[in-house]
């Protein structure tokens, strides 16, 4: 099954016009598009990640969303060991791509797609097979990926190069700020920038 999550931040009338092509595409099994609060948008995937579930994620931005990339994603997903796992494509566009990379910590402002392989399972006995599938899938899809990564999706087994790729042109500036305000790296429980 494929699901499309849409969000339009603007007037209800503009939003209805923006989602009309999505609603008209094919014959969907279910359509639940309508006005909701911004906080509800941020929580709409929460039920898909229940308490106690085990997770392993790999992610990167795509160079392009080609037919070959899509075919490879579909082929790999058909071998997924867990029904809870998802492959998520996030479209970066519109206002988000109209900001200069150096204006915020997040530098990935080119119009394009981010791929998240969000593996999830419930039984610890299934951990090795799910992690192995995720890594294998990532390696197969790597040919379609760019160098950039989204820091919030990096796992604890990533290299420092991957963390650097999450900040790209902003890394040196952010490392100076980290060194100034958190020289002892108190805030270190995420994939953060280590003081220089």
Residues 26, 4 contacting (CB under 8 angstroms): no
Say which DSSP state 87 is in.
Answer: E
pLDDT at 25: 82
Q: Can you list the positions of beta strands (E) in 22-76? A: 54-61
pLDDT at 26: 84
Contacts of residue 80, defined as CB under 8 A and 6 or more positions apart, other chains included, come to: 119, 133, 137
pTM: 0.84
pLDDT at 38: 87
pLDDT at 159: 84
pLDDT in tens, 79-125: 999 999 999 999 998 888 999 999 999 999 999 999 999 999 999 99
Domains of the chain plus CATH, in order, are: 1-44 (no CATH), 52-181 (3.40.462.20)
pLDDT < 70 regions, the chain: none
pLDDT at 2: 82
Residue 138 phi, psi dihedral angles, 5° rounding: -60, -45
Calpha distance 8→14 (Å, rounded): 8
Contacts of residue 128, defined as CB under 8 A and 6 or more positions apart, other chains included, come to: none
The angle subtended at Cα 154 by Cα 139 and Cα 76, nearest 5°, is: 30
């Amino acid at each position: 099954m494929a699901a499309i999550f849409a969000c339009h931040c603007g007037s209800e009338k503009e939003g209805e016009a923006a989602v009309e092509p999505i609603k008209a595409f094919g014959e969907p099994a279910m359509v639940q598009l309508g006005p909701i609060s911004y906080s509800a948008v941020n929580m709409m995937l929460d039920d898909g990640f229940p308490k106690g579930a085990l997770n392993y994620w790999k992610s990167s931005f795509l160079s392009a969303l080609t037919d070959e990339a899509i075919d490879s994603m579909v082929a790999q997903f058909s071998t997924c060991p867990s029904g809870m796992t998802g492959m998520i494509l996030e479209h970066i566009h519109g206002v988000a791509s109209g900001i200069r990379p150096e204006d915020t910590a997040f530098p990935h402002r080119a119009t394009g797609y981010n791929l998240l392989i969000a593996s999830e399972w419930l039984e610890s006995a299934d951990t090795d097979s799910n992690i192995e599938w995720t890594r294998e899938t990532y390696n197969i899809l790597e040919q379609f990926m760019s160098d950039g990564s989204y820091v919030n999706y990096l796992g604890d087994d990533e290299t420092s190069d991957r963390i650097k790729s999450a900040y790209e042109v902003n890394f040196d500036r952010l490392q100076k700020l980290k060194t100034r305000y958190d020289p002892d790296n108190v805030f270190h429980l995420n994939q953060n920038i280590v003081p220089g």
